Chains A and B, each alone.
Chain A
Amino acid sequence: MTDQQAELWNSIKEFELDDIHASFSFSDRLVRENAWSLAYAIRAIFEYKKFMFLICISKTPLTPSDQVDQVWHLHLIYTESYWIDFCQNTLQQPIHHGPTKGVEQRGNFREYYQNTLSLYQNIFQTIPPKDIWNDIETRFKDVNFTRVNRHKYWLVPKKLF
């Protein structure tokens, strides 16, 4: 990491997504919407920050893990925080989120994801945590998610039967 990159990483690392005056914060919402533990949500936010840093320094497109993508989606909803505070004031560049356009792009995303994992390891000198950064097969297999009203439906894992 160059000095300039280290300075940028430090700014991103210190960027705060949680409003301390809010009774229901960004991380609380992340916990609720994904049924994650608070510890896992906080770690996912940290990995999201690492991913955004990698995007800033990478010359090629990158793809996040699904968990990191969920943090990104939620941050995009907080439009002022994302576009003004984060992109404009902290990253000093706009970072757009590009959802897939279909199966024809699947090969590209696999390559981008592989590049992301390699760049992560190269820059942070550590292996991405496997519980947040799945292997490439799991990353593109476990994508069948649906929004469910838990007041009306039970969630029962298939492996029980």
Chain B
Amino acid sequence: MEILSKITPAETLLLIRGNSVKLKDLMKYTFTDLLSKKVISIRKTSTKASVKDKELSTYTYVEEGENFSRYKPKTHEIAFLQMFIVSPSISLNIKDFVQLALKAARSNWNYKKQIRNSKDISFYFRESFWSNLFGQIKLTEKGKMIKQRLLAYLDGIDERLKHLNESDKQSLIETLLPLGGNVFLLNNFDVKILKDIDRDVFKNSTFNTTRQDTSGLFYDFLFLDLFLDFDDFEDTFKSFGDNFDAFDSSFDSGDSSSDSGCSGCGGCGGCS
């Protein structure tokens, strides 16, 4: 299904779930998609959080990926990339990265509008004064048709994944790879499936040719390194969700930072 190789998982989600899709999911899958395209990358390092610590702590950083400079982001992806555009080669702690992306998204409705206005899908949506006023996503007739087609197609792949056997793997990979980051939307997709497959199988795949997606990015192969580093990927994906929950809830409650240290010197912890 050609459209899936052109649209991001956030765009797919908005088409198939419309109003019910959560900001967290839209952002989480956008993050994953950018990672898989190597527009951003993850670096982990172990260091002492403070001089006095005896144990090392693991810090996870988000940085520019190898395809960052040639990637043309869609509007809803800029929330994740803004800092790297303004300050090239900066490293962001994943906690800060999520918080900044969430602030840049501004609101659930604003982020959905950014996705809806993408030139690859905007013609599937009906926009009116009232839908904008009440923050409603409305599909055109053409939009409703593509939604049904997308659902049927993804369900079909999900069904194949459910009853996957060894001989199916090669052909399945050729089905999965053009989906790009949309593979993460499949209920039965498990990155272990690809991890178990010999790297040579990927090399022999007919999709192992340089191709261009709608963003103008050239890349040799989706996901390969990401999947081979499966454990790290799972951790990162979880970490993004956890951080998102932390900031999203503090946004809702209007909680602001406050320091519980002493007032004398702006919160010193004493000397030793």
Which A residues have a C-beta under 8 Å from some C-beta of B? 13-14, 16, 18-22, 24, 27-29, 31-33, 37-39, 42-43, 46, 77, 79-81, 84-85, 126, 129
Contacts and interface: CB of A to CB of B under 8 A. Distances in A.
A20 B83 contact: no
Indicate the member of A24, A42, A84 with the most B CB atoms within 10 Å.
A42
Contacts of B88: 126
B95 interface: yes
A16 to B, nearest CB: 6
Majority secondary structure of chain A interface residues (helix, strand, loop or mixed): helix
Interface in B55-103: 57, 59, 82-83, 86-93, 95-96, 99-100, 103
B83 A42 contact: yes
A43 B90 contact: yes
B65 to A, nearest CB: 17
Majority secondary structure of chain B interface residues (helix, strand, loop or mixed): loop
Interface of B: 45, 47-52, 57, 59, 82-83, 86-93, 95-96, 99-100, 103, 257-261, 265-268, 271
Nearest to B88: A126
B100 A38 contact: yes
17 contacts: A13-B89, A14-B45, A16-B59, A18-B93, A21-B49, A24-B257, A24-B260, A24-B267, A28-B257, A33-B266, A39-B103, A42-B90, A42-B100, A43-B90, A80-B51, A129-B86, A129-B87
Contact of A46 (B48, B87, B257, B267): B87
A38 B99 contact: yes
A20 B95 contact: yes
